[in-house]
């Protein structure tokens, strides 16, 4: 089958964390193609239900044009490691996803398929492999998720964020692994702290308290929110607290009450949309969950972090691994399990009260993220091997 060198397929979805990093790579690919006078089209295979289509179709590249030229939705089923009746019905969705992806890929014949993970990406990777289309996949977490364990069987190469992730794999598999870091959207490399401060109504004031940005993901995190509420006096005494409470796990009444009590120091938001990169740039330190994308967005901006990773029976432990890695490199403090309490929170944040201490964390982050953005590294490899 003759492949179309002017067309690249991306796949991934189910959550924004499986989409935004892929869009970052797609933007860099289009920029690279344009600089080499190459015409390039991007199409995306994602979930037929959920947020995938909306996120992909609304995404704009640096040129102000849509990043993806077309979105294809396919059925998607979740691969569970535990007994559930849904496993049976989802088998049919997975099969449907495979035949849909096979038909799409055979029709458009892309030069290659790049996967950013999520369960929806497994059928397209398998279909591409059967059709002889080169497959590249990326794992953002410190350990491989189930979807990428399966995708790796179909992949020519896998990109990973950490050298340690590669080293844990069998030596035969390591030959197909490239360490690149985690791709972050180009907008995070073009931030302006002043815009973030203006959005927050703070302006550029001298001798103000450090700005603490609290994040728990788009849905929010009850545990993180409660830590803020329980320690609000300490926090507002030492910081200006910008608190993204989340769209689902917010306590709006409590937040409004505290905003009245601390009008200068406490600023709650359910969710910060397109202003987030600039707000992150304006922050002096971050209190957050430890999802791979949130960590790397803060890391490329060299922001010291106190991480409260999601842990327990409801997670595979990826956030714990991510957080512990950054802590081991002197780039973050971690509140794990029972240590996610008021005493340990105050101790961790107190380490970051002075600018010199925060600078040490920033230097450690600079060593981790490197000079070249990860999305650029990945796009360069895909361009050389699929388009040029």
Domain boundaries, the chain: 7-183+373-387, 187-369
**β partners of residue 265:** none
Q: Which CATH superfamily is domain 7-183+373-387 in?
A: Glycogen Phosphorylase B; (3.40.50.2000)
CA dist 214 and 287 (Å) reads 5
| Sheet containing 7-11: order of strands | 70-74, 41-47, 7-11, 113-115, 135-139, 157-160, 177-179
- pLDDT for 82 equals 53
pLDDT tens-place string over residues 95-141? 888 899 999 999 999 999 999 988 899 999 999 999 999 999 999 98
Model confidence band, residue 220 (pLDDT cutoffs 50, 70, 90): low
CA dist 140 and 162 (Å) reads 8
Query: In this structure, how many other beta carbons lie within 10 angstroms of the beta carbon of residue 244?
Result: 25
CA dist 149 and 145 (Å) reads 6
Query: In this structure, how many other beta carbons lie within 10 angstroms of the beta carbon of residue 79?
Result: 15
CA dist 196 and 192 (Å) reads 7
- pLDDT for 313 equals 63
Q: Residue 146 contacts by C-beta under 8 Å, 6 or more apart in sequence?
A: 79, 81, 316
pLDDT tens-place string over residues 157-170? 999 999 999 999 99
The answer, yes or no, to whether residue 87 has pLDDT greater than 60, is no
pLDDT tens-place string over residues 226-276? 999 999 999 999 999 999 988 666 677 888 898 899 999 999 998 888 899
pLDDT tens-place string over residues 37-71? 998 999 999 998 888 888 898 888 878 888 999 99
Domain 7-183+373-387 and domain 187-369, same fold? Reply is yes
Identify the burial level of 355 via C-beta atoms within 10 angstroms of its C-beta, where 0-12 means exposed, 13-18 middle and 19 or more buried.
exposed
CA atoms within 13 A on the CB side of 101: 33
CATH class held by domain 187-369: alpha beta
The answer, yes or no, to whether residue 329 has pLDDT greater than 90, is yes
pTM comes to: 0.86
């Amino acid at each position: 089958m003759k492949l179309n060198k002017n067309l690249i397929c991306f796949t991934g979805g189910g959550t924004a964390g499986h989409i935004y990093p892929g869009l970052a790579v797609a933007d860099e690919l289009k920029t690279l193609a344009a600089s080499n006078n190459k015409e390039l089209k991007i199409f995306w295979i994602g979930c037929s239900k959920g947020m995938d289509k909306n996120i992909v179709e609304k995404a704009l590249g640096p040129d102000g044009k849509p990043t993806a030229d077309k979105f294809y939705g396919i059925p998607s089923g979740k691969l569970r490691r535990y007994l559930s009746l849904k496993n049976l019905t989802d088998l049919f969705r997975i099969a449907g996803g495979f035949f849909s992806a096979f038909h799409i890929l055979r029709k458009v014949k892309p030069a290659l398929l790049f996967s950013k993970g999520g369960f929806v990406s497994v059928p397209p990777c398998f279909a591409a492999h059967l059709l002889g289309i080169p497959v590249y996949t990326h794992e953002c977490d410190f350990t491989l998720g189930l979807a990428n364990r399966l995708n790796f069987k179909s992949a020519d190469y896998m990109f990973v964020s950490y050298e340690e992730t590669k080293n844990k794999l069998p030596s035969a598999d390591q030959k197909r692994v490239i360490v690149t870091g985690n791709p972050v959207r180009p907008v995070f490399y073009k931030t302006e702290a002043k815009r973030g401060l203006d959005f927050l109504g703070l302006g550029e004031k001298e001798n103000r308290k450090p700005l603490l940005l609290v994040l728990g993901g788009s849905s929010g995190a009850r545990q993180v929110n409660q830590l803020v509420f329980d320690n609000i006096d300490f926090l507002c005494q030492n910081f200006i607290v910008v608190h993204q409470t989340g769209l689902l796990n917010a306590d709006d009444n409590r937040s409004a009450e505290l905003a009245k009590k601390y009008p200068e120091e406490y600023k709650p938001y359910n969710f910060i949309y397109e202003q987030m990169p600039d707000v992150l740039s304006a922050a002096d330190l971050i209190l957050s969950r430890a999802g791979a994308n949130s960590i790397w967005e803060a890391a490329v901006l060299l922001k010291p972090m106190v991480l409260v990773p999601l842990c327990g029976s409801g997670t595979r432990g990826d956030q714990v691994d991510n957080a512990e890695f950054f802590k081991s490199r002197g780039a973050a403090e971690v509140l794990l399990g029972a240590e996610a309490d008021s005493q340990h929170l105050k101790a961790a944040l107190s380490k970051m009260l002075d600018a010199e201490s925060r600078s040490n964390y920033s230097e450690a982050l600079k060593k981790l993220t490197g000079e070249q953005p990860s999305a650029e590294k990945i796009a360069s490899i895909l361009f050389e091997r699929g388009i040029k």
